[in-house]
Structure 1
Amino acid sequence: MARLIYSALASLDGYVEDADGGFEWAAPDEQVHAFVNELERPIGTYLYGRRMYETMVYWETVDVGRQPAVAQDFTKIWQAADKIVYSRTLESVSSARTRIEHDFDVSAIERLKESAARDISIGGADLARQAIAAGLVDECHLFLNPVIVGGGKPALPGGVRVPLRLLDEHRFGSGVVHLHYALG
């Protein structure tokens, strides 16, 4: 059975976007990006909300030759995976190996977890909140950045109580801290 994994780059006060929708403060340096690449390498399918997909589709057409080696590696990882975009408004996608689902169907994701040969990543705080509330998420990777943004889009759901078990932690020279938890 595949694991459903939520990963997020967040501020120390727990936001993936600031109050203005910005997240440039979370751009990973080369060391963090290389670490993320190793976490993403086993992913076979990405589940995205529309806004996260629109951010990540950059990796479909990026000029690889102009990117550092760590970004080139991520491009290959991302392009090799399947993508499912959950959106009621998006009518088409601009990346290969991508399909649109209009509704977040818990039983369909349960079936995907049972049948997938590789792990599944869920991206986008809103979509992840639904999956966490439904008890679908198995693991969470939080990359806490050394910045307080004071408000915005929370990385984790409110109104949901889920016990966590710390599996690993890692500190980076930039001050970013990675926390890896099992949920449930």
Structure 2
Amino acid sequence: MGKLIYAANTSLDGYLEDETGSFDWSVPDEQVHAFWNEHERHIGTSLYGRRMYETMRIWESDEWLETAPAVVREYAQIWRDTDKIVYSSTLEEASTARTSIERQFQPETVRQLKETSGTDLSVGGAALGAEAFRHGLVDECVLLLCPVTVGGGKPALPRGLRLDLELLDHRRFDNGVIYVHHAVRHTA
């Protein structure tokens, strides 16, 4: 059985993007990128909302990667090797390999996917992540807290929902980013 893991870069005050939609403050250095590579290497299927998918599909293109550092090119290959499910009512077709589109987020379908998966799954994006949390589907939460506050924007974690967490691991990177890894305690 696979675990569903919510993973994100977030500002210290809890945002994925600032009020203008920018997340340039969370661009990883080589050490943090290597961490994400190792994390993503264990993911068999990534669940995305349309906006997150549109942001991530850049990894399908080789053009800009020719001069990129090895750690960045490695991430591109890891991303390409992962199955992707995009939840969108407007996206006509996927522009990347190993990608399927679902029109609606169906919690029971995701639950079955977890039960039959031999690898872990990830959920990316604030809106889709919030849905997964609300339905009790998220098993673990991996956050990289960037040493910046942005004062507002898109919250990394769902508002109006209590989550009881158990710290599994933590680490400080040389650039001041803090990694925290929590299990989500599900109440009966």
Common fold, TM-score beyond 0.5? yes
How many angstroms does 1:65 deviate by? 2.8
Aligned residue in 2 for 1:171: 172
- Indicate whether 1:19 and 2:19 are aligned: yes
- What is the CA RMSD across the aligned residues, in angstroms? 0.7
Q: Distance in 1 between matches of 2:121 and 2:94?
A: 19
Alignment of structure 1 residues 94-113 onto 2, 5 Å:
94-113=95-114
Structure 1 counterpart SS, 2:174: coil
Number of equivalenced pairs = 184
The letter for the 2-side match of 1:92 is E
Stretches of structure 1 lacking an aligned partner (at least 5 in a row): none
Aligned residue in 1 for 2:147: 146
Q: Distance in 1 between matches of 2:7 and 2:117?
A: 19
The letter for the 1-side match of 2:92 is E
Aligned residue in 1 for 2:160: 159
Aligned residue in 1 for 2:35: 35
Q: Deviations over 1:48-74 (max 9, x none)?
A: 000000000000013343221101110
Aligned residue in 1 for 2:52: 52
Q: Distance in 1 between matches of 2:51 and 2:131?
A: 15
Q: Distance in 1 between matches of 2:117 and 2:79?
A: 17
Q: Distance in 1 between matches of 2:73 and 2:20?
A: 29
Stretches of structure 2 lacking an aligned partner (at least 5 in a row): none
Structure 2 counterpart SS, 1:92: coil
